[in-house]
Amino acid sequence: MGVDLDALVAESRFKKRKVTLDVYNGSSPCSISREIQTFLPTLQASDYFTEPCLTELAMRELMNPGHCQRVQNFTVGRYGYGKVKFFGETDVRWLDLNQIIKFKRHEIVVYEDETTKPVIGKGLNKAAEVTLLLQITSMKDQVTEKLRVSAERQGAKFISFDSNKKEWKFTVQHFSRFGLSDDEEEDIAMGDAGSDSDVQEPIPMNDSDGSDPHLLSHSLPSHLGLDPVRMKEMQMVMFPYEEDEDEELNESFSHHKQHIRSPIHHPSTKITRKTPLALLEYNPGSFGSTPNGSILLTQQKKPLPLTITKVQGFKMEVKETPVTKNYSRNIVDAALFMGKSFGIAWGPNGLLLHCNSSTINLQKAATDNVVRDENNKVREELIDSCFDSPLNFHKEINHETKEVEVDDYKIKIQKLVCDRLSLSHICRSYISIIEKQLEVTGLSPSKRVMLMHQVLVWELIKVLFSSREISSLDPDMEALPLIRRAEFSYWLQESVMHRVQDEISSLNDSNDLQHLFLLLTGRQLDTAVELSASRGDVRLALLLSQAGGSMVNRSDLDHQLNLWKTNGLDFSFIEKDRIKILELLSGNIHEALGDMNIDWKRFLGLLMWYQLPPDSDLISIFQTYHRLLENGRAPYPVPVYIDEGVVENGWTAGNDRFDLAYYLMILHGSEDREFGILKTMFSAFASSHDPLDHHMIWHQRAVLEAVGTFSCDDLHVLDMGFVSQLLSLGHCHWAIYVVLHMSNHEDYPNLQARVIKEILFQYCETWSGQESQREFIEELGVPSAWMHEALAVYHGYYGNSVNALEHYLGCGFWQKAHSTFISLVAHSLFLSGKHSEIWRIATSMEEHKSEIENWDVGAGIYMTFYTLRISLEEDDDAMTEMVSLKKKNDECKEFFSRLKESLAVWDSRLPLDARMVYAKMAEEISDLLVGDPGEGSSIEDKLECFSTIFDSPIPDDILSCHLQSAVSHFALHLTEAAS
């Protein structure tokens, strides 16, 4: 319209008038009271009270309908125990206070039945101030500090402790149960639980059995939520001769009480078994820090610590067998303490809660071990070299993009594209990234071993799968397999060099032949020849110089050894190590090794260097090793962490978990056949002892698939494992990048879209708080509507309705945006004078009003109000005033009708402030309608305007003022008619 609404809206020109309630609306007070009684809260216990009391609530509801929906600082208490005051407005209608709020000795329980507890902020599960009366017989030192610690441990905020009144005050954000444990009571020197104090709960007793209620309240049945008196009676009937044994049990249980940390809080004998809370609401530190190990509710929005690896719960010292010949000595399972529905439970950020027979454990999946140094500290440089740098390089490689349509939106599925000519450059780039990681100080020896293995794997990929450009200077095509064989031989020498040097360093200096044999296992021929010549053994040096060469020389050596054996040569005159060397040079590697244990890479080298012909290609070498492995004549290609001793166990003979290097060799020899071990090959166990570390195996899979070595659409476990790692570090943008590289699978349609949405929703706070991540996600082509939807839900959860509305508009959720605007935002903006903002939001939704239910009685109300107000404020000329007044009266009548319809349609969804805004709009339009009707207006027209106003939803006090004006106009009309 081009009109500045803020400039047209002036301050209210009318004084605030006192609102008088019209109770004469056609209903009698008795009928109103009966209606009110139906939804008043119920409280039957005589020792409980409310502020305001129920009678006062009924009176206020009678005088001010709707008061029970917004009771300010509603308070419930129990005489001698304490009270709880709920902050702000509370809807108390239909509340059964007897079942919801229970005060016990030094504790308060709200919503003991977890299945009936509403979400945080609803009902009585909201912020409140709790006051508990403590029965202290003798004041110990630092009572206030101990109460402060107890409050903070339970997720509450300590306020004060009045030592005179014995009042302990603290605030909570939401409820389960709060108070002191038994050990805390003893530490603060509370009164005897069995005394006749006024605040003690009555314990049902059988006077004839003479049982001590104090002892029974601490017995095993009470810990199981059973009536100890009833159990005592049953025991006397069923086991009349075990009375002494039961006393021993109680004494033993009391003796072990300090070692048993029960998750069930038991301040009184009447205990109800509770359904375990969600893991999100548990305080992980309570298992090890609280005196009794009770799991108390903490603030739900408080993040769980990410560094917890294991926190032990209660432990039970077992000095006897679990089941003795007396049934009264049974030891209770830990899960029984937790509740009948307790089981293994997963929580956020990889938290796992589980139990065994006597211990409750809280563990965290360690997905970030790869970025920790030997002191278990996370290093930023490791995060960069393990995740950021490799992924940045991966992003620089060529990609092909495919647009996929999902629910009217498009996402760009990416796939890495490279050829074997560029594979050498890619492998060298990844190796340089790993070498920078090796330069980080403080790495553990085992981690350095794993990094060196990653370097060797990239080198092997380059050797086995890269190609070179053919030029006139290159040899013919028949020589290329021999070149690849030579490169693999050099890789194998580099891989086993450290093992050879380690074993040589443990030898005596005088044992030259063993030294020579070990050098041969690593094909260090130059060093072996020099050593042999320096010792004067020239003949052996000549043989060593020809090792692995001509097959004729090998055949001659083998023939000579057979002649010696056939002719009965006395081998005692020849060193055994010399015979082993000769056997090796002749190609008899099994005879040469004898009982010697050797790793699989050196065995493969011996097979290639000394037994098979020098012109054999790699495929035949790998197949020969595989046949020997199947026949049990070759060492298993165990993973590097087993081979290098990083992990001492975890592998047994026959296990199909091999080293990644061996899988690459199989892949090289199986290019033209179906390859069925990809899942095992690209699992974390193939390259790391950490089953949750996928940071490098994912890149290796991507590169190998890009160069065409295999094609598989069933490796989503690897993708999701890497995604979990990235999410645990807060790298949501890279996680989405990985998801976009997941392959399509016919059994999982639109898998990428579903995972991306899940990440956006669950980790909204992380990626939205970092502008760089948000921009990166937008660059990836993720629909902005998905991001707006996640942000709308996030802001709505935290009560930021204005931001939630903006994001609902951004994602095109017009119906949700409209309901949020009407029920949560519009009235707040109106009362703040932000009329231009209301107009902007309403006009942005107007184009889609056909998709919005109840538009005319929703946002359309505000647009009509502003348009009508501007129309009424315009100055009409005298000739059209009569017509203008009639027209304006009709427009106002239609507007008031829509206002009342809107109040009926939205009903309870409209808060009190919104109803106040409707009243203000009606008041302002009414004032403008009859403010200056003009000289040409007839008295009938003016009275008709008043009739319209009387049918509008304006407060009664304003209505009475207009009624006085109408009476004055009517009296004037009568006077004029009489004259």
Q: What is the mean pLDDT of residues 349-357?
A: 69
pLDDT band at 438 (very low <50, low <70, confident <90, very high): very high
Report the candidate in 742, 884, 733 with the shortest Cα–Cα distance to residue 388: 733
State the pLDDT at residue 40. 86
State the pLDDT at residue 939. 67
State the pLDDT at residue 330. 41
State the pLDDT at residue 208. 38
Q: Is the pLDDT of residue 754 over 90?
A: yes
The residue type of 787 is: M
| CA atoms 168, 172, 178, 184: torsion sign | negative
Using omega within 30 degrees of 0 as the cis cutoff, is the peptide bond preceding 52 cis? yes
38 compared with 837, residue with greater pLDDT = 837
Q: What is the mean pLDDT of residues 743-765?
A: 90
The whole-angstrom separation of Cα 784 and Cα 773 is 13
State the pLDDT at residue 203. 36
Residue-wise pLDDT for 202-224, tens only, equals: 333 333 344 444 444 444 554 45
The mean predicted confidence, pLDDT, of the chain is: 78
State the pLDDT at residue 621. 93
Report the candidate in 677, 684, 686 with the shortest Cα–Cα distance to residue 642: 686
The whole-angstrom separation of Cα 456 and Cα 498 is 13
pTM of the predicted model as reported, rounded to 2 decimal places = 0.64
Q: What is the mean pLDDT of residues 86-95?
A: 90
Q: Is the pLDDT of residue 85 over 90?
A: yes
What distance, in Å, lies between the first and last C-alpha atoms of the chain? 48
Name, in order, each residue with C-beta under 8 angstroms of 409's C-beta and a sequence gap of 6 or more.
Answer: 753, 783, 785, 786
Q: Is the pLDDT of residue 260 over 50?
A: no
Say if strands 101-104 and 107-110 run parallel, antiparallel, or are unpaired: antiparallel
Residue-wise pLDDT for 663-701, tens only, equals: 999 998 875 555 678 888 898 888 888 888 999 999 999
> How many CB atoms are closer than 10 A to CB 208?
7
Lowest mean per-residue pLDDT among 111-115, 343-347, 805-809, 895-899: 343-347
Q: Is the pLDDT of residue 347 over 90?
A: no
Report the candidate in 5, 8, 2, 7 with the shortest Cα–Cα distance to residue 839: 5
Q: Which among 641-650, 731-740, 886-895, 951-960 has the top mean pLDDT?
A: 731-740
Identify the H or E element spanning 743. Answer: none
DSSP-derived secondary structure letter, 713: S
State the pLDDT at residue 945. 78
The residue type of 10 is: A
State the pLDDT at residue 123. 87
Q: Is the pLDDT of residue 240 over 90?
A: no
Q: What is the mean pLDDT of residues 104-113?
A: 88
State the pLDDT at residue 45. 84
On whether the CB atoms of residues 417 and 744 are closer than 8 A, the answer is no
Q: Is the pLDDT of residue 824 over 80?
A: yes
Q: Which among 367-376, 420-429, 545-554, 940-949 has the top mean pLDDT?
A: 420-429
Residue-wise pLDDT for 115-132, tens only, equals: 888 888 888 999 999 999
Q: Is the pLDDT of residue 331 over 60?
A: no
The residue type of 535 is: R
Q: Is the pLDDT of residue 818 over 70?
A: yes
578 compared with 478, residue with greater pLDDT = 578
On whether the CB atoms of residues 437 and 382 are closer than 8 A, the answer is yes
Q: Is the pLDDT of residue 197 over 50?
A: no
State the pLDDT at residue 481. 82
Q: What percent of the chain has pLDDT over 70?
A: 72
Lowest mean per-residue pLDDT among 195-204, 414-423, 605-614: 195-204
On whether the CB atoms of residues 705 and 671 are closer than 8 A, the answer is no
On whether the CB atoms of residues 286 and 296 are closer than 8 A, the answer is yes
State the pLDDT at residue 926. 81
On whether the CB atoms of residues 554 and 587 are closer than 8 A, the answer is yes
State the pLDDT at residue 210. 42
> How many CB atoms are closer than 10 A to CB 278?
11
Quick one: how far is CA 316 from the chain centroid?
32
State the pLDDT at residue 671. 57
State the pLDDT at residue 21. 32
The residue type of 175 is: F
Q: E-assigned strands of 87-127?
A: 89-90, 101-104, 107-110
Q: Is the pLDDT of residue 606 over 90?
A: yes
The whole-angstrom separation of Cα 770 and Cα 40 is 49
Lowest mean per-residue pLDDT among 447-456, 467-476, 587-596, 682-691: 467-476
Q: Is the pLDDT of residue 140 over 70?
A: no
